[in-house]
Chains A and B, each alone.
Chain A
Amino acid sequence: MADWEALVSQRLGALEDERQREEIVRELAGHLEDSYQEKCARGLSKSVAMELALAEAADWRELTQKIRLAKREGGIMNYRTKSFWLPALVAFTASMVWLMILQLAIPIRLPWYPTDHLVRRVGLPPRAISNTGLQIYFLAGPYLLWLVTQPAFGALGAYLSRRGGGERRARLVAGVFPALMFLCALSFVAVIAFFVERNPFVLAHPAYFAMILVPWVMFPTAALSLGVLPFLREPKAQGT
């Protein structure tokens, strides 16, 4: 039994990526083995079948060159970059810039914003509402506006992923990526607060900390998913 991988490896020239070359060798060897077996099944002698199978690539130097060029065509952006990382980062950046714009447009200086100034701005009688209540009142505006617009960012990520050839899972994850980044950031802060800093407030009120996940991870995930949904359908191939 011929060692097809060794045969191909001896003939195929060097490629830029050694791991990629190993995969290509394995794949081409599989093809030649199939070709050889089919020829044997047709009644050809083993030596003739082998000769004919190897003749499928008469010029290995040319084949190496063609493979090198084909692999280079994608340039610096490979499949995963185009179908996942780029769409995900675009969605995340757009969502964060939009949040920043909202925060700048609606000036809030929490939690140091002077309550009486807030009271003057909205015309509420002093002490009509607690400091915390006012802070929540003023935070709710930009937050809600940001939240209701999240489907657009989910749709953006999923659309770009679909355009880059992304599978359903890639489109979904690219769309909800902004919420995933919040989850990562909060998880990182939690680890620091609990295990490194041993923050007394966080240690005393772990539930408060966990509740942050609701407005910044769970609600955005749901909103982003709404935008992703239309892009989970496979585009129909319109054949002639």
Chain B
Amino acid sequence: MIGIGIKRGTAELAILSVLEDGALHGYEMARRIAEQTHGSLRFTLAALYPTLYKMEQRAWIRGAWETSPTGRRRRCYRLTPAGKKKLAPMRQEWAELFRALHRLRKVSHG
């Protein structure tokens, strides 16, 4: 399980990534992130919604109330063009970080 400090940094990338496939409501988003990371990243309500609202204020995502086939009203979020644009450099930054950490591990083991 990934610690809270690292998890906080990955939240935005995780949210943008799951929204890339289409609109999702908060609970489904958290469920998919947990599923796709095999449980390594789990976002509780307290961790997820402040991040979602912050990202909405930055216009990376947009929330709108939608009615599900079961009749329940849910706030679904989708990527905005600004969010889509943000995703690629964010992925690159994380990939760069992982490469740097990998090199660091090699050096310390060498």
Contacts and interface: CB of A to CB of B under 8 A. Distances in A.
A63 B46 contact: yes
Contacts of B59: 79, 82-83, 164-165
Contact of B27 (A34, A71, A234, A239): A34
Interface residues of A, number: 41
B62 A237 contact: no
Given A63-B50, A70-B50, A167-B62, A237 B27 contact: no
Nearest to B30: A31
A237 to B, nearest CB: 4
A240 interface: yes
B62 A27 contact: no
Given A162-B81, A165-B83, A235-B85, A74 B91 contact: no
Interface string B41-76: 000111011110110111110100000000011110
Interface string A199-240: 000000000000000000000000000000000001111111
B49 A27 contact: yes
Nearest to A66: B50
User: B interface, by DSSP: helix, strand, loop or mixed?
Assistant: helix
A82 B88 CA distance: 22
A134 B81 CA distance: 49
A165 B95 CA distance: 25
A164 B82 contact: yes
Interface residues of B, number: 37
A62 B31 CA distance: 23
Interface in A101-138: none
A235 B49 CA distance: 26
Nearest to A168: B81
Contact of B46 (A62, A69, A78): A62
B89 to A, nearest CB: 9
A70 B27 contact: no
B49 A30 contact: no
Interface of A: 23-24, 26-28, 30-32, 34-35, 38, 56-59, 62-63, 66-67, 69-71, 73-74, 78-79, 82-83, 162-167, 234-240
23 contacts: A27-B26, A27-B74, A28-B45, A30-B25, A30-B72, A30-B73, A31-B30, A34-B27, A35-B45, A63-B50, A66-B46, A66-B50, A67-B50, A73-B54, A73-B57, A79-B62, A82-B59, A163-B82, A165-B80, A234-B84, A237-B84, A237-B85, A239-B87
